[in-house]
Amino acid sequence: MDLDQLKYDLKMMIIEECEKEDITPEDVPNDVELFSDASGLELDSLDALQISMGLQNRYGIRLGDSKEFRRVVTTVDALAKLVKEKNV
């Protein structure tokens, strides 16, 4: 899969899983911390769970615990790298 398409798909997954219908993939920067104010997503701990479930359902990636999630799920770029590594 093309890296740009993967990043777009990850943004769509986040938007859909976290029910952020007022945000488009173009609104989400690739290199900004997802759980920061700068992302514009206003994500919380429930959204983190939704993102984790989305990664498991769509990409078969299971993150062990909340510490691993916080270490791995930082930016769209980091998520894309994780998906590429796990789905080689």
Q: How many distinct structural domains can be found in the chain?
A: 1
Confidence of residue 88 (pLDDT cuts 50, 70, 90): low
Q: In terms of Cα–Cα distance, which of 37, 80, 77 is closest to 58?
A: 80
The tokens describing 84, both together, are 């590429």
pLDDT digits (tens, 9 = 90+) for 21-43: 899 999 999 999 999 999 999 99
The boundaries of the domain holding residue 28 are: 3-86
Domain with residue 42: its CATH number is: 1.10.1200.10
Reported pTM: 0.92
Q: What is the pLDDT of residue 9?
A: 97
pLDDT digits (tens, 9 = 90+) for 42-79: 999 999 999 999 999 999 999 878 888 888 899 999 99
Confidence of residue 11 (pLDDT cuts 50, 70, 90): very high
Q: Please list the alpha-helical segments (H only) found in 1-88.
A: 3-17, 45-59, 66-72, 76-86
